[in-house]
Amino acid sequence: MESQTVASQLRESPAPPDNIIILAQDLWKIYDMGAIKVDALCGLSFSIRRGEYVAIMGPSGSGKSTLMNLIGCLDTPTHGEYWLNGRLVSQLTDDELAYIRNKEIGFVFQTFNLLPRATALHNVELPLIYNGTPPAERLARAEEALRMVDLGDRIHHKPNELSGGQRQRVAIARALVNHPSIILADEPTGNLDSTTGEEIMALFDSLHQSGNTIVLVTHEHDIAAHAHRVIHIRDGRVDRDEPLE
Amino acid sequence: MEKLTSGQPAAQNPRPKYGGLYNAWVTAREAFWIALEALTTHKLRSFLTLLGVVIATTTLIVVMSVINGMNLYIADHIANLGTNTFILSQFKWAQGSEAWLKARQRNRPIRMEDYKALKEYVHGYKSIGATASGNRVTAKYGSRTLYDISLTGVTPSMIDIGQQKVAYGRYITESDYLHSAPVCFIGQDLVDKFFPNVEPLGKEVRISGGLFRVIGVAERIGTTFGQSQDSFVQIPLTTYQRLFMARPSINVSVQAWSSAQMLPLEDEVRSLMRVRRHLRYNQEDTFGINASETIMSLWQRLTSSIFAVTIGVVAVFMVVGGIVIMNIMLASVTERTHEIGIRKSLGARRRDILTQFVIESAVMAGAGGLIGVILAVLISQIVERLFTSAVPLSGIVVGLILSTAVGLFFGIYPASKAAKLDPIEALRMEG
Ligand SMILES: Nc1ncnc2c1ncn2[C@@H]1O[C@H](COP(=O)(O)OP(=O)(O)O)[C@@H](O)[C@H]1O
Ligand SMILES: [Mg+2]
């Protein structure tokens, strides 16, 4: 299997080859709750190549979100190595992680995570604000990203003036606006009805066709069917890793 | 759709980093707007939060304005109490209460004989005059009455020394003085009340029972310390003696040719008075010699103690205001944990979050300072009517800077709490 070959390569040469955008090597995440310790991830290894469209599936509580948060540099593993785009993430400082989250990763959440009082435009501008993009360019790029998700006519609406599907499209525009190396989505259709979910998936499909690397978590087979590869997770371990079609 | 991936090979674990100062400026400006929005959405809460800072700023500026106004008054009037003029009177004006109690036992009034002796034996003065004033009096003309008029008996020379200038008519002349004529020189308040549309010259005004013919009207002086300076009547000192008090206690004003001549002239007056009163070398003066410097030094001592008290009061209010702001900011950080999580997930660094909340706190306190400034200006305008006040620009600047600095300082702790939040923990807090 591919992930194993890469893992064995690693022992000789520390940095993974250029086409490997994500390399997880024996990742552990242990939540220390004082009296009990929860092993959310137990030595998980896999790799993802540039341009892949991967779905992560597994039952509830299997560690999918925990894994996504690690990949998205929102959280750090208890043990193990994680390489993102040629960088060993565990060696990075807080500020450097912030930079990675800003520039390399576009994260789409199940609950959208938009700022409720800000307009769609401002929500999409946020990542650009944090890397100091000048206002004029910021505005142009945010508008462009919103047009790309078909919300060009809704830019001044606040989240509570938008439908669930529209909110998720704002979140996707926000994830795209910095041209990240990888787009991560944790159950992006989980809060949407199936028709709207299909619209969102069509958007992900077209993003993949234009060259983006996409990793999405889902527990629905219909959704996973859009991807070209499915990693099944169970009890914090890779259960099966198979290509689709 | 264009290709969005970055696609470039990464170097050996390169240190990723944002741009420098420009970036900080963009996030700071962003934080400013967030702060303004937060302020305007919770107007009442913001105002209550800012009460301490508002009171502190208002107090500071009002006190500065009143003192400034009084300074201006002093510069305009007391300092000009007569250029190069000093006044011989029973007491020295600016002295501690203990010294004054002793002087009350010891000092004796200045009399007309003293004035005549000084006029004759002191040499080199430009002008010398005497005044006598008693209690405030009531003036009547026809059916109209004015209360609380100051009545002063003067020598003709006082026109050169005193504050008054002749608007029309004439001042008291040597002839009036010699004949102790029943004539008077009046201030504009009497004109306003008694002769609004009538020529005042030649009319007879009844003052404390006596009838006085108006011979001249003074130029308007205006109000200072809330007191009109135009409600006065001056009559010849000899008339004053004849009608009201045969042997009044007087003040003698001596005008020197130059400021350099002041001290020698004062010494000359002092020596002569000591001789007249048979004081031995080890005895203290039984009279007072007062120059405008005397008032200035008293004034300076007074203002410095007013300032000391004000600084204390302002400091207490600022600290209380700062602590209230800190608490509101702590609550705000808790309330907005989810928002902080979102921002961190999008690439906000610790310092971005820190900046956001510190600026928010500073903007909030600065807004309090601004409200304080506006209140102070309004209050100052009222005070100006009743007393005296002039808002100094420095007061506004100090008030704004100080309140903003308080917000900055007390925002640091809540902001650093916000900055230290773990992104994923913060995101889990449902907002
Ligand atoms: N912050 C946390 N503290 C303690 N345990 C957690 C925490 N987050 C997740 N877990 C546990 O880790 C396991 C994996 O959770 P999660 O990754 O959310 O699963 P999934 O997304 O696949 O449903 C679960 O048993 C969950 O209870
Ligand atoms: Mg989950």
Q: Are A186 and A63 in contact (CB under 8 A)?
A: no
Among B5, B12, B16, select the one facing A50 at the smallest CB separation.
Answer: B5
Contacts of A209 in chain B (CB under 8 A): 1
A174-199: pLDDT as tens digits: 999 999 989 999 999 999 999 999 99
Find chain A residues with C-beta within 8 A of B30's C-beta: 129
Nearest CA to ligand 1 atom 14: A63
Residue A2 in any domain: the answer is no
The structure tokens listed for B108 are 């004796």
Q: B8 to chain A nearest CA, in Å?
A: 9
CB contact under 8 A, A96 and B23: no
Interface pTM, i.e. ipTM: 0.92
With cut-offs at 50, 70 and 90, classify the pLDDT of residue A41: very high
Contact state of B13 with A134 under an 8 Å Cβ cutoff: no
Report which protein residue has its CA nearest ligand 1's atom 11: A40
Say what the pLDDT of residue B206 is.
Answer: 95
Residue-by-residue pLDDT tens, chain B, 431 positions: 333 333 333 444 455 666 666 666 777 777 788 778 777 877 787 888 889 999 999 999 999 898 888 877 776 656 546 678 899 999 887 666 778 888 888 999 999 999 999 999 998 899 999 999 887 899 999 899 999 899 999 999 999 887 788 999 999 999 999 999 999 999 999 999 999 989 999 999 999 889 999 999 999 987 766 667 888 999 999 999 999 999 999 999 999 998 888 889 999 999 999 999 999 989 999 999 988 766 777 777 888 888 899 999 999 999 999 999 999 999 989 999 999 999 999 999 998 899 889 998 999 899 999 999 999 999 999 988 877 788 889 999 999 999 999 999 999 999 999 999 999 999 998 75
Question: What is the pLDDT, as a whole number, of residue B46?
Answer: 80
In this predicted structure, the answer to whether residue A2 has a pLDDT above a threshold of 80 is no
Q: Is A72 in the pocket of ligand 1 (CB under 6 A)?
A: no
Instruction: Considering only the beta carbons, identify the residue of A74, A101, A130 that sits closest to B27.
Output: A130
What is the per-residue pLDDT for B12?
A: 44
Distance in angstroms (rounded) separating the CA atoms of residues A230 and A189: 17
Range of the domain at A117: 52-76+91-243
Give the pLDDT confidence score for residue B10 in this predicted structure: 40
Of A86, A134, A176, the CB nearest to B4: A176
Q: Is residue A103 part of a domain?
A: yes
Residue A11 inside a domain? The answer is no
- B350-386 helix and B21-41 helix, angle to the nearest 10 degrees: 60
A60 lines ligand 1 (CB under 6 A): yes
Residue A39 is assigned to a structural domain of this protein = no
In tens, the pLDDT along B257-302 reads 988 888 899 999 999 999 999 999 899 999 999 887 667 777 778 8
Q: What chain A residue is nearest to B419 in terms of C-alpha separation?
A: A94
Ligand 1 atom nearest A63 alpha carbon: 17
Mean pLDDT score, A211-215: 95
CA of A66 to the centre of ligand 1 (A): 6
- In the prediction, which pLDDT does A245 show? 73
The structure tokens 């010891």 sit at B106
Cα A86 to ligand 1 centre (Å): 28
Q: What is the pLDDT of residue A10?
A: 47
Neighboring chain A residues of B41 at a CB cutoff of 8 Å:
117
Which has the closest alpha carbon to B36: B355, B360, B321, B409? B360
The pLDDT of residue B108: 92
- Tell me: the pLDDT tens digits for A132-167? 888 899 999 999 999 999 999 999 999 999 999 999
Could you report the per-residue pLDDT of B167-182, keeping only the tens digit for each?
Answer: 999 999 999 999 999 9
Nearest to B131 by CA among B240, B250, B28: B250
Distances (CA, A) of B67 to A222, B76, B391: 80, 14, 9
Above 50 in pLDDT, residue A244? yes
Q: Give a yes or no: residue A191 inside a domain.
A: yes
**Which atom of ligand 1 is found nearest the CA of A60?**
23
Q: Which residue of A50, A52, A65, A95 is the best one to mutate when testing the B interface, meaning the one whose CB has the most B CBs within 10 A? A: A95
For residue A33, which atom of ligand 1 is closest to its CA?
A: 4
Query: Could you give the angle at the alpha carbon of B117 between the alpha carbons of B113 and B122, nearest 5°?
Result: 150
- The total number of structural domains that make up chain A: 1
Tokens describing residue A74: 């929102």
Angle at the Cα of B236 from the Cα atoms of B235 and B241, rounded to 5 degrees = 100
Task: With respect to residue A32, please indicate whether it lies within any of the assigned structural domains.
Answer: no
Alpha-carbon distance of B49 to B368, in angstroms, equals 9
User: Does any domain span residue A229?
Assistant: yes
Question: Which DSSP state fits A123?
Answer: H
CATH of the domain at A71: 3.40.50.300
Q: What is the pLDDT of residue A228?
A: 95
Of B3, B16, B424, the CB nearest to A99: B16
Is the CB of residue A38 below 6 angstroms from any atom belonging to ligand 1?
yes
Q: Average pLDDT in the A79-86 region?
A: 92
Across A18-35, average pLDDT: 92
Cβ neighbors of B378 (< 8 A, separation 6 or more) are none
Q: Is the pLDDT of residue A17 over 60?
A: yes
Is there a domain that residue A70 lies in?
A: yes
Residue type at B245 in one-letter notation: M
Which one of the ligands is nearest to A63 CA? 1
For residue A233, the ligand 1 atom closest to its alpha carbon is: 22
| Chain A residue nearest residue B22, CA to CA | A132
Q: Which of B344, B346, B421 to mutate to test the interface with A (most CBs of A within 10 A)?
A: B346
Q: Strand ranges (DSSP E) for A134-236?
A: 182-186, 213-217, 229-234
